Structure 1
Amino acid sequence: MKNSLPEIHSCSNKEDLLKQIIDSHQALVNFYKEIPSTIFQDGAIPDGWSVKKNMKHVISSTNLFTLYLKLPKFFMKIFGKPKKNQKPIEEVVPTNRPNIKDFGKYTTAEIYKPREKEKIIQGILDSAEKLKKSVEKFSENELNNLSVFLGISLRNFILIVLKHNIYHVNVARTRLINTSESFQK
């Protein structure tokens, strides 16, 4: 797995935010294209999601948040303003299960549908484009001063979604490394 994944970082302008959306999703796609076909569908040992399920989760996470961005702005104001002192994205934990350290490895299978993988990869690109278009509709001020959850600004929540997606790819990467190491033994 030679492709490096971007670090999601705090940003103060929309241009940088949009660039992170595109760059992070393109890195995800580049990573997933490299996944061996024998590993694409099968689950992880001892427990865990398949590469396919991780990919679909990235799409659904991005699409769900994009739906929130499409809410009328007056509705977002009902949630109140973001907290003044927000944690920098670099300090945000991108999962609700941070204590899991043993990600296991993947099993292999003979069943593989290449068109299905291509369709999911296109879904990742499409979800990124939808998110980007939604973000473009907001001003810098709105990205900083509107919130849909927990007093988190729209800007920071978008960064959390990106960081969460990168986290899922890192889980898949760790499992792939563990899988290749077990074949070498």
Structure 2
Amino acid sequence: MQKPEIQQLLDKSFSDFTTFIGSLSDHRFIVSPEGKWSAGQQLDHLIRSAKPVNKALSMPRFFLRWFGKPAKASRSFEEIRDVYRDRLQHGAVSTRPYIPPVTEIGQRETLLKQFDQQKSKMIGLVGNWDEPELDRYQLPHPLLGKLTTREVLYFTIYHNYHHLHTLQLREKPEQPWPTQLERVIF
């Protein structure tokens, strides 16, 4: 993928998540059946995940040399997705800095605003990189090890969709929300 496509997919992945969150009732935003993260917590987690990416993208390239040079070419979006799925299937979980606290309904608008700010910042920062630089520098990822900058952007796109898909599956349109809650409670 080239930079314009990456920027477009970043925009879409953030926007699709925001649209879905906006469709949820207040109750469904803060409550989660089966002990999983609520939609609000998932939103907070994605903000926490985007911030270090934006920080790295905004750093002078000189400082990024500290993480070393990539030993191989950037992998494809599909390869990054598959490696992440494999790690999750083998028990990998979010590390402490990315675990969100319980969210309250009063945080919804603030979190959505922060998420949108992270999206805009990331898309803008990617514009400051040229194509070869995306493959020339690498960054540490808590579950996947060192990734090239391009791979980190691929991961961010997939990560947003992974959490969106998790929430969409939870909705189970064939069962109304009260029925789902009753099933979990009793």
TM-score bucket of the superposed structures, by smaller chain? 0.7 to 0.9
- State how far apart, in whole Å, the 1-side matches of 2:169 and 2:4 are: 31
Determine if contact 1:81/1:151 at 8 Å carries over to the other structure.
no
Equivalent in 72, 75, 89 of residue 63 of structure 2: 75
SS in 2 for 1:39: helix
Structure 1 residues 143 and 63: CA distance shift in structure 2, 3 A: same
SS in 2 for 1:138: coil
Residue by residue over 1:17-49, the C-alpha shift from the partner in whole angstroms, topping out at 9 and shown as x without a partner, is 11111111111111111112221111331x211
Letter in 1 for 2:47: I
Question: Are 1:172 and 2:161 an aligned pair?
Answer: no
- State how far apart, in whole Å, the 1-side matches of 2:112 and 2:146 are: 33
Identity of aligned residues (%): 20
Q: How many residues align?
A: 161
Question: Are 1:42 and 2:37 an aligned pair?
Answer: no
The corresponding residue for 2:151 is 156
Worse overlay, 81-90 or 141-150: 81-90
Which contiguous aligned blocks of 4+ residues in structure 1 show a shift greater than 4 angstroms? none
SS in 1 for 2:26: coil
TM-score (norm 2): 0.75
Q: Structure 2 unaligned segments of length 5 or more: list them.
A: 92-103
The corresponding residue for 2:77 is 89
The corresponding residue for 1:98 is 89
The corresponding residue for 1:103 is none
- State how far apart, in whole Å, the 1-side matches of 2:112 and 2:27 are: 17
- State how far apart, in whole Å, the 2-side matches of 1:175 and 1:127 are: 25
Residue by residue over 1:44-77, the C-alpha shift from the partner in whole angstroms, topping out at 9 and shown as x without a partner, is 31x2111110011111111121112222211212
CA RMSD, 1 decimal: 2.5
Determine if contact 2:70/2:136 at 8 Å carries over to the other structure.
yes
SS in 2 for 1:180: coil
SS in 1 for 2:27: coil
**Which protein has the bigger helix share?**
2
Question: Are 1:135 and 2:126 an aligned pair?
Answer: yes
The corresponding residue for 2:3 is 14
Structure 1 residues 86 and 155: CA distance shift in structure 2, 3 A: closer
Q: Structure 1 unaligned segments of length 5 or more: list them.
A: 1-10, 101-111
